[in-house]
Amino acid sequence: MTPWEIHAIEVQNCNCSYGCPCQFTALPTTGSCEAAVGFKIQKGNYGGVSLDGLSAGMTAKWPGPIHEGNGERQLIIDEKASSEQRDALEKILSGEDTEDMATIAWVINAMTSTRHETLYKSISFEADIENRTAKVMVDDVFEMNVEPIKNPVSGQPHRARIDIPSGFEYTMAEMASGTVKTQGTIDLPNNNGTHSHMCELHWNNSGIIRD
């Protein structure tokens, strides 16, 4: 197993109501799961290959809850990445060189039966976790816009966080509202003003590195 480690920012949007039942081991809001994710690696390595500054994305959907499988997934990797960096990122985001069940990437890969060809695209990534705003644009694949959840009475930003001490994706995430427009192979027509979360990822082969 090649040793690796990443420190990254993740922005995710799915078709569920705010909070996302998956975070509480409950069933998806409407029965199915549809998601887009963007990653920006601040610092990382795969063996001797640096991953600093690279971005990646993913679109995925399942006919039911993720744990029932039969999903489809497509990875998108920063076109600026070298061949070695592309290979490294694809392995990390496919759950390879990772202990069983250690990361959400491993789980998604295990619950996916259709893995579309990985794309290499221009990726624009902007995220402010504290203020719950983000914009992720993957050329010819998807555009994700994230904003704070609004109080329905006052219209003011509403802040909520989820703390999962034993999670395999994050330990703390900010909740937000997101919308995704897709142009790629996987269509996400129901992700409009739905659940988003923003968080820091600190992973290695064994999963989350808990400070």
Annotate the chain with three-state secondary structure. Answer: CCCEEEEEEEEEEECCCCCCHHHHCCCCCCCCEEEEEEEEEEEEEECCEECCCCEEEEEEEECCCHHHCCEEEEEEEECCCCHHHHHHHHHHHCCCCCCCCCCHHHHHHHCEEEECCCEEECEEEEEECCCCEEEEEECCCEEEEEECEECCCCCCEECCEEECCCCCCCCEEEEEEEEEEECCCCCCCCCEEEEEEEEEEEEECCEECCC
pLDDT at residue 210, as a whole number: 87
pLDDT at residue 140, as a whole number: 96
**pTM for the complete prediction?**
0.94
pLDDT at residue 138, as a whole number: 97
pLDDT at residue 198, as a whole number: 98
Range of the domain at 33: 4-208
How do the pLDDT tens digits run along the chain, 211 residues long? 999 999 999 999 999 999 999 999 999 999 999 999 999 999 999 999 999 999 999 999 999 999 999 999 999 999 999 999 999 999 999 999 999 999 999 999 999 999 999 999 999 999 999 999 999 999 999 999 999 999 999 999 999 999 999 999 999 999 999 999 999 899 999 999 999 999 999 999 999 998 7
Domains identified in the chain, total number: 1
pLDDT at residue 59, as a whole number: 98
